[in-house]
Amino acid sequence: MTTVRISDDAVALACGADDVATAFVAAGASVERVSSWGMHWLEPLVEIDGIGFGPASAADVEAILAGSSDKRIGPIAEHPFIVRQQRLTFARAGKTRPLSLDDYVATGGWAGLTRARSLAPQVLIEEVTGSGLRGRGGAGFPAGIKWQTVANAAGARKYVVCNADEGDSGTFADRMLMEGDPFQLIEGMAIAAHAVGAGRGYIYVRSEYPHAIAKLNTAIKLATVQIAPFEIEVRVGAGAYVCGEETSLLNSIEGKRGEVRAKPPLPAIEGLFGCPTVVNNVLTFAAIPHILIEGGAALYDSHGVARSKGTMPVQLAGNIRHGGLYETAFGITLNELVHDIGGGTASGRPVKAVQVGGPLGAYIHPGRFDIPFDYEAYTVADALIGHGGIVVFDDSADMGHMARFAMQFCAAESCGKCTPCRIGSVRGVELIDRIRGQGSAAPDAVSRLPQMHNAAKQAPTREAELQLLEDLCETMKFGSLCALGGFTPYPVLSALKHWPEDFA
Amino acid sequence: MNREAQLEAIFGAFRGTEGPLLPILHEVQHTFGCVDPAAEATIAHELNLSRAEVHGVVSFYHDFSATSDPRPCIELCRAEACQARGVEALVPAAEQAAGTRVKLKTVYCLGLCSVGPAARVGERVHARLDSAALIKLVHSV
């Protein structure tokens, strides 16, 4: 009997993979549901003996089985999109059944944990530090140093918390990993627990990811014995973007409003329920098992550039022809990612801008597509890598509207704790509306009263409004408690700088 | 089972859980379609919190609502990646098709950013929506 492999990743499901699978079963084939290769423009992707067919629909089933389908893309593992990648974190993508412990063990699963548990925690932490692994959530803080802080902190209980509140638009690597290779995340957390002496862990997943939640819950049950005495529980978010910020995430697990906490104290010292807590992103934990196998740390460190070591699962999204997951060493340029690998826009129109790093990332002009993918190079260019999402826009995009949207999003999602974010974002929307000629700042009746000596007597000039917007952005950038208010100026100011004509 | 017994069953499932408020609120929202003031009071009593504390949490998160809405709901992603793929152009016709019968709710990101515009109905996700597909989805719920 022919064995057909079809992904059960949410992207494949959303594109109709279940219907395709049902049709194959009806045609007498045996269907295996595996993780996604990450070539999303080809989903649902069907694999028979290593040969891929996609995007497949139920109507293609007969031709695929007969060998006459025009959806044939050849051997998947030799596809240019796959061959050019350096997959470490996503080494199993497309190859294993997500909830099969046999598949996991056959592909090197638990080797990292077994070796980690044979090491003294201090040695283990030094290996993680030596690998150069930096937090993949956005801030890029060295993982080993964070672990060391937790290990050194005094506390009766310690926690390991996985931040799986992947709210950034244009990012889906966490989701793919949780749905496609949940044991790897669990193993990474168990290694962290051994390193810092934690007994309990939480995975905080956003409620928009029902498939990931279901997979994780099953995987945790299946892996109970392997990770014991360490225990993991999934906590489901409730639709607040700001809960992706680590301190508001901790508040949310504690059952409080997802308000940001002032730092210090760092979560590593006083985190969940006041105890020392490791908070890392899904991709950070998922990189750990690979680093902990014999020679893994040195191999990881050999990838990448300067202080950005290892690989980054880049997510190609938005208006891009070949969207999906592209894991590669740091140092790659946007030109390569957007044009060579992504194939330009899906609409076929010229690229106008890309936003890197989610809703709080800068819009980058095609003239600057040569900057290397590297934390420090992006900081110098007033941009951020964030979680590695790249959203492509074609020339129909209105960047003035996108700048307004950034402020509007910040206003909708602000936790309300600090003033620059809570009020600045609302004022930002109003200000951008005025600059774009919608709404007026003409002085009202009270401002015109003779005793209002200091009130403006005429509407401010456009130059004055633009200056005000820059001042507002500066206040938000340096005065906000967390990255939501602090980084919203990036998309706003970058749009204003590179596409001033869209603000007319 | 009456309301009190249902709430008691939910509380019972989370006794011993650290920080049980959010899981309880999810269950209450799922069971009753909302977390109304009466439920807030009962939860506050159970967890030895003030009603204000519980209300503060309920009103903070987008997933919880004070009144139930029996209409079928389509969650349409309107974040940047779906905007780049043209979701905004689909909205007017979809709103018209939805009318007052279907709730068309805006969400920011379903993690399907490479195959947008995307929408979610309960546990089912839909991608590569064009105007016709979205209107068909609206009529199908």
Residue of B nearest to A390 (CA): B81
**Would an 8 Å CB–CB cutoff place B70 in contact with chain A?**
no
Q: What is the pLDDT of residue A416?
A: 95
List domains and CATH numbers for chain A. Answer: 3-83 (3.40.30.10), 101-302 (3.40.50.11540), 304-397 (3.10.20.600), 400-503 (1.20.1440.230)
Q: What is the pLDDT of residue A80?
A: 96
For residue A437, pLDDT over 90 is answered with no
Q: To the nearest whole angstrom, how far is the Cα of A323 from the nearest Cα of chain B?
A: 5
Average pLDDT over residues A208-229: 97
Choices 1.10.8, 1.20.58, 1.10.10, 2.60.40: CATH for B3-60: 1.10.10
Q: What is the pLDDT of residue A427?
A: 96
Question: Tokens 């937090």 correspond to what residue?
Answer: A135
Average pLDDT over residues A480-490: 96
Banded pLDDT at A332 (limits 50, 70, 90):
very high
Which of A11-25, A185-199, A299-313, B110-124 is predicted least confidently? Answer: A299-313
Residue of B nearest to A176 (CA): B111
Banded pLDDT at A213 (limits 50, 70, 90):
very high
CB contact under 8 A, A359 and B107: no
Residues A413/A419, Cβ–Cβ less than 8 Å = no
CB contact under 8 A, B114 and A166: no
Q: What is the pLDDT of residue B95?
A: 96
**What is the share, in percent, of chain A residues with pLDDT greater than 90?**
92
**For the segment B48-104, what is each residue's pLDDT rounded down to a tens digit?**
999 999 999 999 999 999 999 999 999 999 999 999 999 999 999 999 999 999 999
Banded pLDDT at A64 (limits 50, 70, 90):
very high
Residues A161/A272, Cβ–Cβ less than 8 Å = yes
Average pLDDT over residues B7-23: 96
CB contact under 8 A, A391 and B84: yes
Which of A127-131, A151-155, A434-438, B130-134 is predicted least confidently? Answer: A434-438
DSSP E strands in A333-487: the ranges are 351-356, 363-364, 389-394
Residue from the list B56, B113, B127 with its beta carbon closest to the beta carbon of A170: B113
For residue B15, pLDDT over 80 is answered with yes
**For the segment A117-146, what is each residue's pLDDT rounded down to a tens digit?**
999 999 999 999 999 999 998 888 999 999
Q: What is the pLDDT of residue A19?
A: 96
Residue from the list B61, B77, B127 with its beta carbon closest to the beta carbon of A239: B61
For residue B21, pLDDT over 80 is answered with yes
Q: What is the pLDDT of residue A458?
A: 85
How far is Cα of residue A131 from the mean position of the Cα atoms in its chain? 21
CB contact under 8 A, B85 and A318: yes
For residue A148, pLDDT over 80 is answered with yes
Domain borders along chain B are: 3-60, 73-140
A-B contacts at Cβ under 8 angstroms: 147
Q: Which of A222, A184, A215 is nearest to A13 (CA)?
A: A215
**Which token pair is A349?**
């129109």
CB contact under 8 A, B80 and A167: no
Question: Tokens 């409080």 correspond to what residue?
Answer: A256
**Domain B73-140: which topology?**
Glutaredoxin (3.40.30)
